[in-house]
């Protein structure tokens, strides 16, 4: 069976080269006589895997020395709670920017632990990012949280907010490793693994050291960043296999030329697909052009009745996971790092063919 082009928003496609490596190492990792998933997380072999993964991620993102890198469990959703539990008291005010579905989830969770002030809300159908000058920021807020890329709506920030002394917290689940980023502008970056990092079951948290040690006394230990940092993310048994796969992906990204190369490829993929949509007079993307995501491209057909035949034809052509999120419908193509340009071109060709037959 040949592999399909998988446009899933997550769990997403992994690079074929990485999958082949995992296959070859499945039963015997480098002479150990066992799979990585069978290893003790305290053993020399896995500790080496973990340390190399962190070193490679630090190199790729140019993480400053005064930041800690944590490999945790609970996904990005777990961090929706961990962030206020580590950075606020019940009477603290935390600023949030609402640009869509994942921002809303983060806001709802934070409200359980602190006072949330929505500093900006894109409102309506969430097809743009609010102008920064219109934001209502709280002086002395515990932090400002935003979602640089909304996976469901396909809305992406074209800028990094300036927050002064207020720590900036970003959910980069959908954009991490897709291009260079200046980590020093952020207090906390967190990202679920299942898009550009590896399989589900892992979340990466990059936190500035001066923000550690602020957790509430009743925070669960596995969500206490300082406790996890003190034990190398191994206070409990970590998601060892996901961590190992993440390390293999980091090395793959390095072999591709690093994040500068990823940026060039991802920009080209997105531009090709958006051009096909905009030039068609048939398909439509609802997001304002200046706020369009490189990673998640939603689009609709002229008639929702055409959605089913479009998806059936796409599957027959080896193009899968194109259905839009159940909350918005239509189509969505996710173009994470592992999606090659050939996959985007195959989708564009199929879209043109479908239009010629149904337009």
| Residues with a known catalytic role | 102, 171, 195
Beta bridge partners of 116: 94
DSSP letters along 135-161, please?
--PPTT-S-EEE-SEETTTTEE-SSPP
C-alpha R_g of the chain:
21
HSE value, Cβ hemisphere, 13 Å, CA-based, for 151: 25
Q: Where are the alpha helices (DSSP H) in the chain?
A: 16-25, 44-61, 75-87, 101-110, 225-230, 240-256, 258-280, 307-316, 341-358
Exposure string for 182-220, b = 16+ CB within 10 A, e = fewer: ebeebbbbbbbbbbbbbbebbbbbbbbeebbebbeeebe
Spatial distance between the Cα atoms of 101 and 126, rounded to a whole number of angstroms = 9
């Amino acid at each position: 069976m040949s592999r399909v082009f998988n446009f899933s928003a997550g769990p997403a496609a992994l690079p074929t080269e990485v999958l082949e490596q995992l296959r070859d190492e499945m039963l015997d990792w480098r002479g150990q006589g066992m799979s990585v998933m069978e290893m003790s997380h305290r053993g020399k072999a896995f500790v080496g895997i973990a340390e190399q993964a962190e070193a490679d991620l630090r190199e790729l993102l140019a993480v400053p020395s005064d930041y800690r890198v944590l490999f945790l469990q609970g996904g990005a959703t777990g961090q929706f709670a961990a962030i206020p539990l580590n950075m606020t008291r019940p009477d603290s005010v935390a600023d949030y920017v609402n640009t869509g579905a994942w921002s809303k989830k983060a806001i709802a969770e934070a409200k359980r632990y602190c006072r949330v002030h929505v500093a900006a809300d894109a409102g309506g159908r969430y097809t743009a990012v609010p102008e920064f000058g219109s934001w209502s920021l709280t002086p002395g807020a515990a932090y400002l949280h935003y979602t640089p890329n909304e996976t469901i709506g396909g809305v992406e920030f074209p800028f990094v907010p300036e927050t002064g002394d207020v720590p900036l917290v970003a959910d980069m689940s959908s954009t991490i490793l897709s291009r260079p980023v200046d980590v020093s502008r952020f207090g906390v970056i967190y990202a679920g693994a299942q898009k550009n990092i590896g399989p589900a079951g892992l979340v990466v948290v990059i936190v500035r050291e001066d923000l550690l040690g602020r957790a509430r006394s009743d925070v669960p230990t596995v969500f206490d960043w300082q406790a996890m940092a003190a034990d190398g993310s191994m206070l409990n048994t970590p998601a060892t296999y996901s961590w190992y796969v993440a390390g293999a992906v980091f090395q793959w990204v390095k072999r591709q030329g690093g994040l500068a190369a990823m940026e060039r490829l991802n920009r080209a993929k997105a531009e090709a697909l958006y051009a096909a949509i905009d030039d068609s007079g048939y398909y439509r993307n609802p997001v304002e052009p200046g706020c369009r995501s490189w990673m998640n491209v939603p689009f609709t057909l002229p008639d929702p009745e055409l959605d089913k035949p479009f998806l059936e034809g796409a599957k027959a052509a080896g193009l899968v996971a194109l259905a839009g999120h159940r909350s918005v419908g239509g189509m969505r193509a996710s173009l994470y790092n592992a999606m090659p340009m050939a996959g985007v071109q195959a989708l564009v060709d199929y879209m043109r063919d479908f239009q010629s037959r149904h337009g």
